[in-house]
Structure 1
Amino acid sequence: MSAETGTGAASTTEGTRTIGRARTLLLAVVCGAAVANIYYAQPLLHTIGEAFGVGDGTAGLLVTASQVGYATALALLVPLGDLLERRRLVSVLLAASAVSLALAAGAPSFALLAAAVALVGVTSAVAQIAVPLAASLAGDHERGRVVGTVMSGLLLGILGARTIAGFVAEVGGWRWVFGVAAGVMVLLAVVVRFGLPRITPTESTTYPRLLRSVLGLVRREPELRRRMALAAVGMGCFTILWTAIDFLLSAPPYGYGPAIVGLFGLAGLAGAAMAPLAGRLADRGHGTVVVTVGLVVLLASWALLGLGGASIVALIAGVVVLDLAQQSLQISHQSVIYALAPQARSRVTTAFVTSAFLGGTLASAAVSLVYPAWGWTGVCVLGAAVAVLGLGIWFLPRT
């Protein structure tokens, strides 16, 4: 049971209360802005390396630092959303993110910058606390749509971070990217503190027991395990595409520069438009159809992407289709898992997102092996194989 108090709460029952459009959009912005913090450094690695006199390989460790910080927080920090009051937790983490970003902006050495970026990764996990917060504020009749809208913000943050970082760095330098992001975090921390109602914690246990209970949920809920596996498949396909597409676009026959390559992230933003629709379908009981169609479309996207090795039109179409499929699948999965254990939505999120993160990590490693040996065609075969695996998981008999 998740009770809410505060001005503007329509009801304390999940079936009749409503979150409201303004709060939904606020949490979407929080998710997008927080997760974008992890990706700002990616298009700036060469510039940062030159500033500190280190090579591209060393500069690339900034990405590793942020991902390690984020993964650590997924496992150890996100479950606190069930133990602590979520509004306060979100606002505190946003403030901590602002401090981490400010440290990155003013870092006098590469080592200190890497440490600050790792802290940015840790605090950016607030995005995964905001999603179950939105689910708890929403009524049963609107939860899928609300989660879909909030997840749209998260996808916009992931795909738009590169473009934003490039433009800001072009105008004011790379330090300005982190500085501006710090200012955004401060603003959001204040708005969340005064713009959202208080959410009563759903657990009153110790922190070690809270962490152990995540594994207990995974053991007890077969549907959660299945959705976790499908989350790994979807994020695997997403990561395969966005890891390898830079290699493709930078080489013949395209030979694009970093600025144009970064703009391809905008093609993926179409997936953000699909999220609310997928959420509405889930609210109306059509989640099974969404997953089935989504997995088939995910597989079909790799055929388009395969043609994209020689056709820019096919490549863009494939990017759009894959992101539409992945976003639809993600929303459908989350609508189901949040209904499995309403009192443990943060811990369910930990299990689900950690599985997705693991799938993305394995996919990224696979691309590093496949692309040098078999090129773009091999990457597309790998992506199609992962999508087929997803179909197999979906159609296996339920236990």
Structure 2
Amino acid sequence: MQLNRSDVLLMAFCTGLIVANIYYCQPLVILVAAEFNLTESQAGQITYLTQAGYALGLFLIVPLGDMFERRKQILMITAIAIAALLLAALSPTFLLLQMACVLIGASSIIPQLILPMAANLTSDEERGPTIGIIMSGLLIGILASRALSGSIGFLWGWRTMYFIAAGICSLLLLLMARRFPQSQPAFKGTYKTLLLSMWHYIKTQPVLREASIINFLAFAILSGFWTTMVLFLANPPFSFQTLQIGLFGIAGAAGALAAPLVGRWSGGKNPRKNLLTGLLLQLLSIAAFYFTGSHLYLFVMGIILIDIGQQAIHVTNQTRIYTLVPEARNRLNTIFMSVSFIGASFGSAFGLWLWEKGAWALFCLGTTLVVLLNLFIYIFYSYKIKVNHGKGTD
């Protein structure tokens, strides 16, 4: 079957609300630190533990989408996500909260099952725009999650946010059971063979390798920013509360609006131009963050630039890998997104380390070096493509 417009919009809606589970914790770090008598950096561990759990789920669970019927898999994992969110809400100790966050991350991989499902059910011409629309839902979910959790945490405490998230996922479970189409897999081997086959694709697909490496570093920049900005805004000269900090997520809405447009460009003759644009926008965003001082308009401008840049990089790379081996889209997506969210986890930890060593100025310097490294990798692969006359590339 082919997806119609309402199917795509429903997938975007579900993707946004489920991916939000990973990001609710970011504005809540200050409240968690106060309740468990921790430093803000210690409480910030829940951000990268959630992302590490997501990477683990991507690697171990998402490949099964090439082996089992995707709709049934989506419903089962959503049920696990509900249990994990309730565990977080009821955690009596920080250790149990940390464990719950890993489970929340691992069970929030449903968007990475929805995307290959959508790619399989759309034509080659519509694949880029469809991915762009679903990615818009994903980014809106990320941005709205920060604003929502900051507000809920301020009004009713951080535990309430996790109870609400469990309720949202319960409603989505019913909606997806009723509306999602079945998507039959093509892989007939064992789970071990399935996992081992991913190594084959890493060795034989240079586009997959480049896309994954670039996304690793791009996600590290974005995740490092959203983790560290909470500490930046919570301290002088701003001294904002979680409600005010969460509202800054709305500034990234421009990135969500850019995703469908990037999706249309990503299938063009030279999608690599999108990657360069995204990397340069990340560089400009860090410059805006560095010179913010007490001028919040520069900070907001930086948020808009970093989110648009991330969309240019991510949507383009995801569209590129989906054209490589159609029958292995879940496995390709597993490799790509596992590497991306290991990068996100690294970025959060790296951002917190930079903050401890030299506050905001050192964070901006450290992330600038990461973007420059990414630009070097982009240039290196561009040179290889030129030397090989485009063989094995897009």
TM-score using structure 2 length: 0.88
- Secondary structure at the aligned position of 1:292 is classed as helix
Q: Is residue 2:71 matched to residue 1:84? A: no
Equivalent residues of 2:267, 2:320 under 8 A apart? no
CA displacement at 1:24 relative to structure 2:
1.2
Is the aligned partner of 1:296 residue 2:280? yes
Please, which moves more after superposition, 70-79 or 166-175?
166-175
Q: Distance in 2 between matches of 1:50 and 1:248?
A: 17
Within the alignment, does 1:180 sit opposite 2:147 as a pair?
A: no
Offset of residue 56 of structure 1: 4.7
Equivalent position to 1:276, from 247, 257, 260: 260
Gaps of 5+ in 1: 1-8, 10-16
Question: Which residue pairs with 1:12 in the alignment?
Answer: none
Contact 1:41/1:63 (CA < 8 Å) preserved in 2? yes
- How big is the alpha-carbon RMSD for the aligned residues of Structure 1 and Structure 2? 2.4
Match of residue 371 from structure 1: 355
Q: Residues 106 and 376 of structure 1: is their aligned pair in 2 closer, same or farther, counting only changes over 3 Å?
A: closer
- Alignment equivalent of 1:99, drawn from 83, 93, 101: 83
Per the alignment, residue 36 of structure 1 pairs with 20
User: Which amino acid is 1:387 matched to?
Assistant: V
Are positions 1:149 and 2:133 aligned together? yes
Q: 1:389 to 1:38 in 2, by over 3 A?
A: same
CA offsets 1:23-60 (integer angstroms, 9 cap, x no match):
11221122222221122233334545666x55356655
1:163 positional shift: 1.9
C-alpha spacing 1:299/1:96, structure 2 compared with 1 (3 Å): same
Tell me if the contact between 1:309 and 1:376 (Cα under 8 Å) persists in the aligned partners. no
**1:124-147 C-alpha deviation (Å, 9 max, x unpaired):** 112221221221222211111111
Matched, 1:342 2:329: no
Q: How far apart, CA to CA, are the structure 1 residues paired with 2:141 and 2:218?
A: 18
Q: Which moved more, 1:191-200 or 1:98-107?
A: 98-107
Quick check: 1:70 aligned with 2:54?
Answer: yes
Structure 1 residue 355: deviation in Å? 1.5
2:45 aligned with 1:55, yes or no?
A: no
> How far apart, in 2, do the equivalents of 1:322 and 1:208 lie?
39
Q: Which moved more, 1:327-336 or 1:64-73?
A: 64-73
Q: Give the secondary structure class of the aligned counterpart of 1:308.
A: coil
Amino acid at match of 1:81: G
- Shift of residue 69, structure 1, vs aligned partner: 2.5
Q: Assess, with a 3 A threshold, how the Cα gap between structure 1 residues 84 and 284 changes in structure 2: closer, same or farther.
A: same
* Correspondence 1:227-246 to 2 at 5 A: 227-246=211-230
Percent sequence identity over matched residues? 34
Question: Counterpart of 2:392?
Answer: none
Which one of the candidate residues 197, 209, 217 is aligned to 2:193? 209
Secondary structure at the aligned position of 1:340 is classed as coil
CA separation of 1:202/1:65 partners in 2, compared to 1, >3 Å: closer, same or farther?
Answer: same
AA aligned to 1:91 is: L
1: CA distance between counterparts of 2:86 and 2:18? 14
Query: What is the CA deviation profile of residues 348-369 of structure 1, one whole-angstrom value per residue up to 9, with x for unaligned ones?
Result: 1111112212223333333334
Matches within 5 A, 1:126-165: 126-165=110-149
Question: Which residue number in structure 2 is paired with residue 14 of structure 1?
Answer: none
C-alpha distance after superposition, 1:196-219 (max 9, x if no partner): 221110201100111111111111
Equivalent of 1:315, from 284, 291, 299? 299
Q: Distance in 1 between matches of 2:200 and 2:279?
A: 28
1:45/1:56 contact within 8 Å kept: no
| Cα displacement (A) at 1:384 | 2.3
The counterpart of 2:346, out of the listed 359, 362, 372, is: 362
Cα-to-partner distance string for 1:71-98 (whole Å, 9 max, x where unaligned): 2211111111111111111122112212
Please point out which of 159, 162, 181 is paired with 1:197. 181
Whether contact under 8 Å (2:144, 2:250) holds in the other structure is yes
TM-score, length basis structure 1? 0.87
Please give the alpha-carbon distance, in whole angstroms, between the structure 1 residues aligned to 2:326 and 2:181: 18
CA contact (8 A) 1:248 1:309 kept: no
Q: Structure 1 stretch 270-279 or stretch 151-160: which is displaced more?
A: 151-160
- Cα distance in 2, alignment partners of residues 244 and 60 from structure 1: 9
In 2, Cα distance between equivalents of 1:257 and 1:171: 11
User: Following TM superposition, where does structure 1 have runs of at least 4 consecutive aligned residues deviating by more than 6 angstroms?
Assistant: none
Q: 1:311 to 1:49 in 2, by over 3 A?
A: closer
Preserved CA contact (<8 Å) 2:48 2:344: no
Equivalent in the alignment of 2:391: none
1: distance between equivalents of 2:129 and 2:90?
40
Which moves more between the two structures, 147-156 or 339-348?
147-156
